[in-house]
Structure 1
Amino acid sequence: MKIAIMGFGTVGTGVEEILYKKRDRLKKNGIDIEIEKVLIKNIKKERSPFEKNLIFTDNFDEILSSDVDTVIDLTTNLEDTYQRMLALMKAGKNIVTANKAVVSKYFEELNKLAREKEVYFAYEAAVGGAIPLIHPFMEEAIFNDMDKVFGILNGTSSYILSKMEREGLSYEDVLKKAQDLGFAEADPTADVGGVAAMRKIRILSSLIYNAKINEAEIPTYGIENIKKIDFDFAREMGFSIRMLAKSQLSNGLVNISVIPSFVGDDFFAKTFDATNAVKIWGENFISYEFKGPGAGRLETADAVVRDLFRIVSKREIPAFYDGSKSYKVENAVKNKFYLRIKESPKALKDVIKYEKVKAGDQLIITKKISLKELKPILDGLGEFFLAEIEENI
């Protein structure tokens, strides 16, 4: 099979390395993959691929007009990449992508076009890093009703929170360390602000419910304002703090959010470093648990190559998602929340269950309240840190 790669950064070089080093083993198993071209931005930049004769181009039309069967997208652009994917699918080419932003925003459009053109649309690496999530979920979705999925879906925030918890370091110090190690981008906003996890829970929820869930409907709270005092308070209550992406379907209503959470469940509480962890509940089983690397060059490349192998061996699941079901996003499930703020506003007065002052901060535990009810109050506040208290998962 002839393929092309769009993007030759961290993951792109990882994909090329795997395919090059395992070439002989693959051929022995009847899998012959040839990288015909690699699309890059800067054709003048010096690169060191394992295959010394690898051809680079900065002209997308060369990829579009080529006879490659499958294009692996490893870019980070949103709108340009989406337009390229449309053009490639219309030209009859399969798509493998790790671009969670494109997959989340245009999930319906890309699945629809893949069905119409009878091409494969594979996106395992866009959710959960190296963890096999998408294909097990797709297989179950065909014959099983799944109604709940919780997950630590961002390696950067997982690394920061577990390091702060175990080593007592400040947010700023751990973030710098994460950036030095390559776990966090120079601009970490999408990760620590919860946007990356929001896109992933949108993909998973839409897939298992077969219903469109808009990104704008998902309340998203990050960890940018977290301090050591929050970990101390959580520890006193017997909890760890992790950023959870949560989705639950009940009585035709969807409760979905991304929010730091006090967790006591060992599956989540004992998820450390850049590890991701996902738990899903379904009609035919109590729950399944998935855990593994949420980031990394070869780890993410591994997920990409798995998608490619399924296509080559004709084991890939054709796109079947059509978003035909309609559920209202309500966020009406009631739970307790922890809130740290300099001064509690009058609007919070009726929902406070417990409050104390420590080091000039108001540490608040709310009565059971829904995120739908709490959000309007939070929207009027200044800087704060919010966490949901998960007493039972």
Structure 2
Amino acid sequence: MKIAIMGFGTVGTGVEEILYKKKESLLKNCFDIEIDRVLIRDKDKKRSPLKSDIVFTDDFDEILNSQVDTVIDVTSSLEETYERIVLLMKAGKNIVTANKAVVSKYFEELNALARENKVYFSYEASVAGAIPVIHPIMEESFFSDMNKIHGILNGTSNYILSKMEVEGSSYADVLKEAQDLGYAEADPTADVGGFDAMRKIRILSSLIYNAKIDEGDIFTFGISNIKKSDFDYAKELGYSIRLIAKSVLSQGKINISVIPTFLKDNFFAKTFDGTNAVKVWGENFSCYEFKGPGAGRLETADAIMRDLLRILSRREINTFYDASNSYEVENNLKSKFYVRTSKVNPGLKELIEEERVLGQDHHIITREINLDELKTVLDDEMFIVEIEGTI
């Protein structure tokens, strides 16, 4: 199999390293994989691949018009990458991608294109890094209805929250540490704002329910204004705080959100650092669990390799997602919420079950309400947390 790689950054070099170091083992098992060429932006930038004769190009047409069977996409752009994947699929090339932004935004379009052009569209690496979660869900969907999924799907946020919990550090200090270690980008908005996790729960939920879920319909609240006092309050009540992406199909409606959560469930509460964790509930089983590294150079490259070997051995699952089910997105399931704010607006005041004032902040527990009700009283100054066990 001849392949091409679009991008040669952290993950791209990880793929090349695995293919180089495991070449003999792969050949022994009839996996003959050759990197035909690698698409990069700057041909003048010094690169040090393990295989010294790799061909680098900045001309996408060289990839498009080549004889490669499969293209691995490890780029970070959105629209440009989408347009290129469309052209590659129409040219009959299989796609393996780690780009969760492209997969989430254009999930319906790319699945349809894969079917029309009889190519594989593989994206295990776009959700939860090295954890094999996409393919088990695909396989399960043929014979078992799934109705709920919860997950810690962003390693950066989990690193920050677990460090703040264990060490009592401030958000600003832990964020800087995460940036220094390479866990967080210089602009961490996608991670700490919950948008990365939102894209991943959109992908997982779309698969589980075989339904289209617009990104804009997913309630997303991040951790960027969390304080140490929130952890103090949670600890007093016996809770940990984690950023949980969740969706539930109930009475024909999809409840889906990304929101910090007070929880006691050790599967999530004992998930530390950059680890991801996912729980899935289904018809033929009560619940199964996945946990492991949610990001990383070789970790993500590992997921890409699994997709690649499935394609090469013709074991990959043909694209079946067609969004044939139609469900309304409405967060109507009731829960209690914790709200910290320096001022209590009239709408929030009507929702209070318990209130404590510490310094300038009001720490509030609401009565049981649904998320759509809470949205009507939110302002930019508030920090909100859903409380586990009241769903």
Q: Which residue of structure 2 aligns with residue 382 of structure 1?
A: 380
Cα separation, partners in 2 of 1:278 and 1:392, compared to 1, 3 Å: farther
Shift of 1:383: 1.4
Residue 28 of structure 1: aligned partner: 28
SS at match of 1:377: coil
Correspondence for 2:117: 117
**Is the CA contact (8 Å cut-off) linking 2:336 and 2:390 kept in structure 1?**
no
Q: In 2, distance between residues paired with 1:368 and 1:17?
A: 52
How many Å separate the matches in 2 of 1:387 and 1:190? Answer: 19
Residue number in structure 1 paired with 2:172: 172
**CA offsets 1:310-330 (integer angstroms, 9 cap, x no match):** 101111001000000000001
| CA distance in 1 between partners of 2:279 and 2:358 (Å) | 35
TM-score (norm 2): 0.99
- How far apart are the structure 2 equivalents of 1:231 and 1:40? 44
Deviation at 1:180, TM superposition (A): 1.2
- 1:229-248, CA deviations, whole angstroms, 9 ceiling, x for partnerless residues? 00000011110000000100
Corresponding position of 2:249: 249
> Which structure 2 residues correspond to residues 1-393 of structure 1 after superposition, within 5 A?
1-378=1-378, 381-391=379-389
For residues 206 and 15 of structure 1, the distance between their equivalents in structure 2, rounded to whole angstroms, comes to 28
Structure 2 distance, partners of 1:382, 1:267, is 31
Post-superposition shift, 1:359? 2.5
Q: What code does the residue aligned with 2:336 have? A: K
Q: Tell me the alpha carbon deviations over residues 240-270 of structure 1, each in whole angstroms, 9 at most, x when there is no partner.
A: 0000001000110010000000011000000
Per the TM alignment, residue 185 of structure 1 is displaced from its structure 2 partner at its CA by 0.8
**Deviation by residue 1:197-241 (Cα, 9 ceiling, x = unmatched):** 000000000001000000000010000000110000001111000
Q: Which amino acid aligns with 1:347?
A: G
Report the Cα distance in structure 2 between the residues aligned to 1:359 and 1:36, rounded to whole angstroms. Answer: 63
CA distance in 2, matches of 1:382, 1:307: 41
Q: Which moved more, 1:177-186 or 1:51-60?
A: 177-186
* Letter of the 1:259 counterpart: I
Letter in 2 for 1:260: P
Q: 2:3–2:71: 8 Å Cα contact kept in structure 1?
A: yes
The question of whether the paired residues in 1 share the 8 Å contact of 2:334 and 2:390 is answered with: no
Alignment partners' CA distance in 2, 1:180 and 1:348: 38
Q: Could you tell me which amino acid in structure 2 is paired with residue 143 of structure 1?
A: F
Equivalent position SS for 1:326: coil
Report how many aligned residue pairs link the two structures. 391
In 2, distance between residues paired with 1:392 and 1:92? 49
CA distance in 1, matches of 2:193, 2:387: 19
Q: Give the Cα separation in 2 of the matches to 1:283 and 1:382.
A: 40
Deviations 1:165-217 (A, max 9, x none): 00011111111111111111111100000000000000000001000000000
State the secondary structure of the residue aligned to 1:132: coil
> Structure 1 residue 392: deviation in Å?
6.0
Q: Letter of the 2:88 partner, please give it.
A: L
Distance in 1 separating the partners of 2:267 and 2:15: 30
Partner Cα separation in structure 2 for residue 172 and residue 295 of structure 1: 22
Q: Which amino acid aligns with 1:281?
A: W
Q: Which secondary structure state, in structure 1, belongs to the residue aligned with residue 35 of structure 2?
A: strand
Question: 2-side partners of 1:65 and 1:392: how far apart?
Answer: 56
* Distance in 2, Cα, partners of 1:179 & 1:38: 28
Q: Which amino acid aligns with 1:6?
A: M
Give 1:181's aligned amino acid.
L
Q: Extract unaligned runs of 5+ from structure 2.
A: none
Q: What letter corresponds to residue 2 of structure 2 in structure 1?
A: K
Runs of 4+ in 1 over 6 A off after TM superposition: none
Q: Specify the SS of the correspondent of 1:387.
A: strand
- Offset at 1:382? 3.3
- C-alpha distance in 1, partners of 2:205/2:105? 13
User: Shift in Å at residue 350 of structure 1?
Assistant: 1.4
The answer as to whether partners of 2:8 and 2:40 remain within 8 angstroms in 1 is yes
Secondary structure of 2:386's counterpart equals strand
Q: Which amino acid aligns with 1:57?
A: T
SS of residue paired to 1:212:
coil
Q: Please give the alpha-carbon distance, in whole angstroms, between the structure 1 residues aligned to 2:67 and 2:333.
A: 52
Tell me the distance in 2 between the aligned counterparts of 1:197 and 1:348. Answer: 27
One-letter identity of the residue aligned with 2:382: F
How far apart, CA to CA, are the structure 2 residues paired with 1:295 and 1:177? 17
Aligned amino acid, residue 247 of structure 1: S
SS in 1 for 2:238: coil
Cα separation, 2, equivalents of 1:298 and 1:328 = 39
Structure 1 Cα separation of the partners of residues 352 and 289 of structure 2: 34
* 2:36 match: secondary structure: strand
RMSD between aligned residues: 0.8
CA separation in 1, counterparts of 2:371 and 2:200?
A: 20
**TM-score normalised to structure 1 length:** 0.99
Q: Which moved more, 1:344-353 or 1:161-170?
A: 344-353
